[in-house]
Amino acid sequence: MSDVLLAVDDLRTYFATEEGVVRAVDGVSFTINRGERRGVVGESGSGKSVTAMSIMGLIEPPAGQIVTGAIDFDGLNLLELPEDEMRKVRGGRIAMIFQDPMTSLNPVYTIGQQLIETIVLHQNVSKSAAREIAAQSLADVQIPYPASRLDDFPHQFSGGMRQRVMIAMGLSCNPELLIADEPTTALDVTTQAQILDLMLALADDRGTSVLLITHDLGVVAGFCDTVQVMYAGGIVESGSASDIFYDPKHPYSWGLLGSMTRLDAAQMHRLNSVRGAPPSVINLPEGCRFRPRCDFALDVCRERLPLLGPSDVEGHTVACHRAAELDLKLVTSEGAPR
């Protein structure tokens, strides 16, 4: 289970706006193995979605541009693939599920038309065979009466049902990588877990790798093998889910975890919040981007941008100058040593 499916190397995606250049993704590198479930967490604007859109090749020039970097997907360099080759990958080998199921389906076409369209596009099958595949994929996501519901329009489905349809559409072509961009944010809390369980079970059945973008740490803890934490366009920490949760190395991850409500906490503690606000990605601070909000910042943090490097734990990387000396496990949220 260690062969690499997707390798992103030093990806930089910038957007030109009237206020200046937005460095939405600024030097992101990571790999995803086959069958791996990767969680991506971070605040709004940290570059999670733009990373996903860059992988899908959905960054629209001239406003958005992938400045440098390489995205290697199973031996294909996605950034240099011609458009018609890229279209075969997009939707066929890499599928994406979006945040808001209420607006993600075309209102004037039936669910069946939209599913069949994708299947016919990526698999060499007839329309009637595609219809059967479509009905089967609706059955897979546990929609009752799948054959007849194919002829219903999106507005005849509830939000949760629509997200199931999106999942069915994403998985109908057996992709190797499924990117889910906050798939449950817009849903009822009670359906969130159902949808995630379903999506990940189906992905497991097919051996599909999952890149799950979320700002819900609980989701990541429950569903992901590995986690990367993003902040202001870069990855600040990456490792296995348990490493990040029980042994955070970066002050930002530590702050995020402290701001999470936990039912299994040994003792009651005040909910913490990461002070300040995320920096503007147009005018990033000098040195470490998290420095203005960090309780542990030193002079060196002002001078150099820390790079993602190994820590004392195997497979756990962190981008912090003080990662080795700080023992964040011991620091309570009440008082931070300086």
Partner 1 sequence: MFAYIVRRLVYGVITLFVLSALVFMLVQFGGGSPLDRLRLNPRMVNVIQKLTVKYGLDLPLYQQYFKWLSGFVSVDRFVVLGASAWIGFGSVVAATAGLFFTKVKATWFRPARAFGVVAIWVSFFWFAKSRVDFAMDWGDSFRGDGPVWDLVFGAAGATFRLGVTALSLALIIGLPLGVFQAVRQYSFFDQVGTLGSFIAFSTPIFIVATGLQVVLAFYLERWTGLKLFFVVGMTQVGYGDLGRLAQMGDIFRHLALPALSIALISIAGYARFQRAAMLEVLHSDYLRTAKSKGLPRRTVLVKHALRNALLPIVTIVTLDVAGIIGGAIITESIFGWPGVGRLYIGAINAVDYPVIMAIVMVIGMGIVFMNIVADILYGVLDPRVRYE
Complex with partner 1: residue 25 or 169, whichever CB lies closer: 169
CB burial readout 184-222, b (16+ within 10 A) else e: bebbeeebbebbbebbbebbeeeebbbbbbbbbbebbbe
Q: Which two tokens stand for residue 248?
A: 């955070």
Complex with partner 1: residue 58 or 201, whichever CB lies closer: 58
Among 25, 56, 281, 308, binds partner 1 (CB under 8 A): 56
Please report, as residue ranges, which positions from 207 to 266 form the binding site for partner 1 (by CB under 8 A).
none
| 100 binds partner 1, rule: CB under 8 A | yes
Separation of alpha carbons 130 and 133, rounded Å: 5
Q: Which of helix, strand or coil describes residue 90?
A: strand
Complex with partner 1: residue 34 or 87, whichever CB lies closer: 87
| 95 binds partner 1, rule: CB under 8 A | yes
Among 11, 89, 143, 200, binds partner 1 (CB under 8 A): 89
| 91 binds partner 1, rule: CB under 8 A | yes
Complex with partner 1: residue 13 or 238, whichever CB lies closer: 13
| 41 binds partner 1, rule: CB under 8 A | no
Report phi then psi at 35, rounded to 5: 80, 0
CA distances from 166 to 48, 190, 307 (A): 20, 18, 37
Please report, as residue ranges, which positions from 120 to 149 form the binding site for partner 1 (by CB under 8 A).
121-122
In this structure, are residues 296 and 222 in contact, taking their beta carbons and an 8 Å threshold? no
Which residues, in sequence order, are CB contacts of 311 under 8 Å at separation 6+?
239, 249, 317, 318, 323, 324
Complex with partner 1: residue 138 or 217, whichever CB lies closer: 138
| 90 binds partner 1, rule: CB under 8 A | yes
> Residue 29 CB, nearest distance to partner 1 (Å)?
23
Q: Which of helix, strand or coil describes residue 78?
A: helix
| 9 binds partner 1, rule: CB under 8 A | no
Separation of alpha carbons 299 and 319, rounded Å: 16
Complex with partner 1: residue 213 or 235, whichever CB lies closer: 213
> Residue 185 CB, nearest distance to partner 1 (Å)?
13
The secondary structure of 299-333, three-state, reads: HHHHHCCCCCEECCCCCCEECCCCCCCCCHHHCCC
Residue 74 CB burial class (10 angstroms; 0-12, 13-18, ≥19): middle
Among 6, 25, 169, 256, binds partner 1 (CB under 8 A): 169
> Residue 74 CB, nearest distance to partner 1 (Å)?
16
Residue range at the interface with partner 1 (CB under 8 A); choices 7-15, 84-92, 194-202, 268-276: 84-92
Residue 97 CB burial class (10 angstroms; 0-12, 13-18, ≥19): buried
Complex with partner 1: residue 118 or 184, whichever CB lies closer: 118
> Residue 148 CB, nearest distance to partner 1 (Å)?
11
In this structure, are residues 134 and 119 in contact, taking their beta carbons and an 8 Å threshold? yes
Among 10, 80, 151, 188, binds partner 1 (CB under 8 A): 151
Complex with partner 1: residue 51 or 317, whichever CB lies closer: 51
Please report, as residue ranges, which positions from 101 to 120 form the binding site for partner 1 (by CB under 8 A).
103-110, 113, 117-118
Adjacent-strand bridge partners of 231: 234
Size of the site for partner 1 (CB under 8 A): 31
Which residues, in sequence order, are CB contacts of 201 under 8 Å at separation 6+?
none
Binding site for partner 1 (CB under 8 A): 56, 58, 84, 87-92, 95-96, 98, 100, 103-110, 113, 117-118, 121-122, 151, 153, 155, 166, 169
